[in-house]
Structure 1
Amino acid sequence: MKPLSLLLAVTLGERTPRLLAQEQGPQDVGGGGLAKRPAALLLRQGPEGPPPRPDLDPKLYLKVDDPTGTLQAAFRRYPRGVPAPHCEISRYIPLPASANWASGLSPERSCPRALDGDWLTVSMSSSVLSLSSLLRLQPEPQQEPVLITVATVVLTVLTHTPAPRIRLGQDAILDLSFAYMPPTLEATASLAPSPPPFGLEWRRQHLGKGHLLLAATPGLGGQMPAAREGAVAFAAWDDDDPWGPWTGNGTFWLPAVRPFQEGTYLATVHLPYLQGQVSLELTMHKPPKVSLSPAPLVWAAPGEAPPELLCLVSHFYPSEGLEVEWELRGGSESGSQKAEGQRWLSSLRHHSDGSVSLSGHLKLPPITAEQHGARYICRVHHSSLPASGRSAEVTVEVAGFSGPSLEDGVGLFLSAFLLLGLFKVLGWYCKKGKSKINLMLYLIKPKILLCRHKQYKKL
């Protein structure tokens, strides 16, 4: 049987939400093109039954039975106004897991007869969800009142955080849930009256390389690969109904993320001969700190160039996409305008936490009296900041127009210097004078006692 690939666009209605699809078959129809046939998934029907679709092959018009309700619930909470998810459907063949650590999930040598039949895997991804479902098809289309094929959802793996964006250095928590219902009564009878064992696997793909971060098989023994990078997963069934359906949790926790941990994360749930997988794209950010020097005032005389302005943009991530703008407000011009002068950026400086820093420089032209009180603003734009960006500013003071002039400032400095010297001299004289007084008192004191003694003898 030739493999089948369906590209789907989602249409959500209040009564009969449907997935409308175009099939891309493998056959070449000339010019490198592929034959296309329409297909659809009917997730929920109205009271009048399935809408007629004479344009569809009955085998590709699928009425979905979802015993766990997970697939339908995902679209029930799908936000309005969000673009429809990208969808793919392909043929699926039940096979045991290839990883050695999951071999305990498939003790039989061959796939059990209860899993015979035609299977499809449905993958959907958007900015608000990523899910994968395994569907088992009934052998022949049914008439109700139109020809339609019934497909039962057996396993659904779902995340509501398909594109987590984590601040650099903080913990990343990647949401994952799954639901399972045995496909037939025979399969249910062959199981113990409890949730079946399962395997959970988290991998990262980045720059063409894949890394196993965590593998777990709750309820099964065996040697498991050691978790890497401090990763932890909350792998467990959420309920213990005797015969199902069952829902589970595979949420992944990665502490204190660093830039090298960005990339595509693949979460796979293994059941005996069945696997469901979703992908998540993890990115990181850190907003910059912005400071401007010299601050708070820039002094200059008319006709002279003020000191060079230095805008320090520190500890941000990612390094791409940073913009530094210089604005001038006030002075003779009203509003804001682009600042004149030579500007350049320094090279990046890397820090131990993975963030970077750089500085923006502005060499100003000579200023005029009309620029007194004007403000120079350094505004930074980055993907980690709001659209307005982040800024720092300084005010220009032109000597002689308000406050002390440049000459006054020099005079005040000299006066302060002279006063300081005078105070030191006076302090030295006072200290020296006090020593002389103490010496005189010491010399005078014995003479006074002698005079008193002589006076006593006369009496």
Structure 2
Amino acid sequence: MKLLSLLVAVALGERTLRPRGRNWVLGVGEQGPAARPPARLPAPTLSAPAVSAFADPAGALLAGLRRLLRGDPTPRCEMSRFVPLPAPASWARSLSPEASCPRALDGEWLMVSVSGRDLSLSSLLRKPAELQPEPVLITMATAVLTVLTHTPAPRIRLGQDAVLDLSFAYAPPTPEPAASLAPGPPPFGLEWRRQHLGKGHLLLAATPGLHGQVPAAQEGAVAFATWDDEPWGPWTGNGTFWLPAVRPFQEGTYLATVHLPYLQGQVALQLTVHKPPDVSLTPAPLVWATPGEAPPELLCLVSHFYPPEGLEVEWELQGGPEDGFQKATGEKWLSALHHHSDGSVSLSAHFRAAPVTTKHHGARYACRVRHQSLPTSGRRASVTVEVAGLSGPSLEDGVGLFLSAFLLLGLIRVLSGLVTDCDPQEKVTASTPPTF
């Protein structure tokens, strides 16, 4: 593979990151990355002469940095020292059979973590073990293990599957010729863990190519753990994580760790669950009212949404005495939350409008629901107000029609009786004497 270069500067000022030609510049404060919050980029203040040039044989680190600065104006950067150690988990001990760290890993190690909106990465950088003559203005180092994800903040709809992207790249740090090494990528371990509300849960552990006792996967989790088939490296791998039918309790920080012998790379993903509400308004489609009286109480049902926090219900009136949209005046209140078996919740919003006038005829009452799972405009349902006596028969009109129909029926019966009494045929028949 083609060698890619990366420039990293250890400065006394702010931590910064910016492109410069085909190189990349990264600054770190002298008190360490935890001394100050990550700086917004770009705003370089490089004042120290200690500049290190880093080679990236696998190309994953440089590709990730380019993508971060191209798509996110405010990536975050941290740098810290790293000490090669065996994996602490018992299931991954077979990755480090040597009694001590091999000499190939000698040297000074740094861990660089950069995150943005669409990508998060962590890379182990190794300086050479041999000493260099003073003064040292540029010190070479190599990106050995880079772990990255393109889904640093997955937002999953309740009940749907979560696919958390993870890839990694490894370039052997040994100075020995590739011909003296065994072909193929090294053994590795993959671990996915969730942290939420102060508790940690191991969801999946895998050691492809090794025969070891690993914990059983939890919650139906599956990972696609594999290397590519490059014989001599550098190698790229895949550790994408699949979690079926996500529920609210599965929210939290997901830590993805790639274990190599005495090396560990890790990224964090923040998974959130959401579900937009269904909104309906009753009575519908029309609300009948008489002038001077309040229309029937309106009930807006907001059902099966998540998370429960942050829901807002607004009542609007379109039309009426003041034309256009306006906030509806009246009495309003919310019910308690109703919890469903899938983790979603529902509630009902009640509204009792003020008395209407004839000018309210044709106006529309609406409830507008705003929630983080919805677009900024929210979701609404509305009904039309019909004022009695203007668009159809009122109650008095109905009574009048009933009385009119009753009187008409009586008149018809009277007239029918009169016609029967005056029938001439019946009279002739009655006056004819009997025949003997």
TM-score higher than 0.5: yes
Q: Is the contact between residue 174 and residue 251 of structure 1 (CA under 8 Å) also seen in structure 2?
A: yes
Offset of residue 188 of structure 1: 5.3
Distance in 2 (CA, whole Å) between partners of 1:35 and 1:375 is: 54
Offset of residue 63 of structure 1: 1.3
Offset of residue 290 of structure 1: 0.4
Q: 2:372 aligns to what SS in structure 1?
A: coil
1:73-129, Cα deviation, whole Å (9 max, x unpaired): 112223646233211111111111011111111111111111111111111122111
Amino acid across the alignment from 2:191: E
Q: 1:294-443 alignment to 2 at 5 Å?
A: 294-409=283-398
1:258-284, Cα deviation, whole Å (9 max, x unpaired): 000000000000000100000000001
Count of residue pairs the alignment pairs up: 391
Residue 55 of structure 1 corresponds to which residue in structure 2? Answer: 47
Amino acid across the alignment from 2:108: D
Q: 1:340 to 1:117 in 2, by over 3 A?
A: same
**2:276 equivalent among 287, 296, 301:** 287
**1:95 equivalent among 85, 100, 105:** 85
Residue 22 of structure 1 corresponds to which residue in structure 2? Answer: 29
Q: 1:227-306 alignment to 2 at 5 Å?
A: 227-237=217-227, 239-306=228-295
Offset of residue 365 of structure 1: 1.5
Q: Is the contact between residue 6 and residue 90 of structure 1 (CA under 8 Å) also seen in structure 2?
A: no
Amino acid across the alignment from 2:87: A
Q: 1:310 aligns to what SS in structure 2?
A: strand
Distance in 2 (CA, whole Å) between partners of 1:154 and 1:335 is: 64
**2:19 equivalent among 5, 12, 16:** 12
The answer to whether the aligner puts 1:152 opposite 2:142 as a matched pair is: yes
Q: Is the contact between residue 65 and residue 152 of structure 1 (CA under 8 Å) also seen in structure 2?
A: yes
Distance in 1 (CA, whole Å) between partners of 2:372 and 2:92 is: 41
Q: Is the contact between residue 313 and residue 359 of structure 1 (CA under 8 Å) also seen in structure 2?
A: yes
RMSD across aligned positions (CA): 3.0
Q: Is the contact between residue 10 and residue 19 of structure 1 (CA under 8 Å) also seen in structure 2?
A: yes
Q: Mean Cα displacement is larger for which, 361-370 or 245-254?
A: 361-370
Q: 1:103 aligns to what SS in structure 2?
A: helix
1:331-368, Cα deviation, whole Å (9 max, x unpaired): 22121011000001100000011100001110111111
Q: Is the contact between residue 140 and residue 149 of structure 1 (CA under 8 Å) also seen in structure 2?
A: no
**TM-score normalised to the size of structure 1?**
0.79
Distance in 1 (CA, whole Å) between partners of 2:341 and 2:177 is: 54
Residue 421 of structure 2 corresponds to which residue in structure 1? Answer: none
Q: Mean Cα displacement is larger for which, 330-339 or 282-291?
A: 330-339
Distance in 1 (CA, whole Å) between partners of 2:370 and 2:234 is: 50
Distance in 2 (CA, whole Å) between partners of 1:247 and 1:154 is: 11
Distance in 1 (CA, whole Å) between partners of 2:242 and 2:64 is: 23
Distance in 1 (CA, whole Å) between partners of 2:249 and 2:219 is: 11
Q: Is the contact between residue 8 and residue 86 of structure 1 (CA under 8 Å) also seen in structure 2?
A: no
Distance in 1 (CA, whole Å) between partners of 2:387 and 2:46 is: 82
Residue 190 of structure 2 corresponds to which residue in structure 1? Answer: 200
Q: 1:320 to 1:73 in 2, by over 3 A?
A: same
Offset of residue 241 of structure 1: 1.9
1:394-432, Cα deviation, whole Å (9 max, x unpaired): 011111112222333566789999xxxxxxxxxxxxxxx
Distance in 1 (CA, whole Å) between partners of 2:247 and 2:74 is: 32
Distance in 1 (CA, whole Å) between partners of 2:405 and 2:194 is: 67
Q: Is the contact between residue 13 and residue 46 of structure 2 (CA under 8 Å) also seen in structure 1?
A: no
Distance in 1 (CA, whole Å) between partners of 2:255 and 2:170 is: 19
Q: 1:186 aligns to what SS in structure 2?
A: coil
**TM-score normalised to the size of structure 2?**
0.83
**2:125 equivalent among 107, 124, 135:** 135
Distance in 1 (CA, whole Å) between partners of 2:158 and 2:403 is: 51
Amino acid across the alignment from 1:166: I
Distance in 2 (CA, whole Å) between partners of 1:376 and 1:337 is: 10
Q: 2:268 aligns to what SS in structure 1?
A: strand
**2:73 equivalent among 83, 88, 91:** 83
Gaps of 5+ in 1: 27-32, 41-50, 418-459
Distance in 2 (CA, whole Å) between partners of 1:379 and 1:35 is: 43
Gaps of 5+ in 2: 1-10, 407-436
Amino acid across the alignment from 2:220: G
Distance in 2 (CA, whole Å) between partners of 1:79 and 1:132 is: 16
Q: 1:177-188 alignment to 2 at 5 Å?
A: 177-186=167-176
Distance in 1 (CA, whole Å) between partners of 2:207 and 2:180 is: 20
Q: 2:220 aligns to what SS in structure 1?
A: coil
Q: 1:222 to 1:301 in 2, by over 3 A?
A: same
Offset of residue 291 of structure 1: 0.3
Amino acid across the alignment from 1:74: G
Amino acid across the alignment from 1:67: P
Distance in 1 (CA, whole Å) between partners of 2:148 and 2:79 is: 16
Q: 1:12 aligns to what SS in structure 2?
A: strand
**1:162 equivalent among 134, 137, 152:** 152
Q: 1:24 aligns to what SS in structure 2?
A: coil
Residue 447 of structure 1 corresponds to which residue in structure 2? Answer: none
Amino acid across the alignment from 1:395: T
1:7-33, Cα deviation, whole Å (9 max, x unpaired): 73322355444223323259xxxxxx9
Distance in 1 (CA, whole Å) between partners of 2:403 and 2:337 is: 43
Q: 1:121-132 alignment to 2 at 5 Å?
A: 121-132=111-122
Residue 166 of structure 2 corresponds to which residue in structure 1? Answer: 176
Distance in 1 (CA, whole Å) between partners of 2:292 and 2:362 is: 16
Amino acid across the alignment from 1:306: P
Amino acid across the alignment from 2:111: T
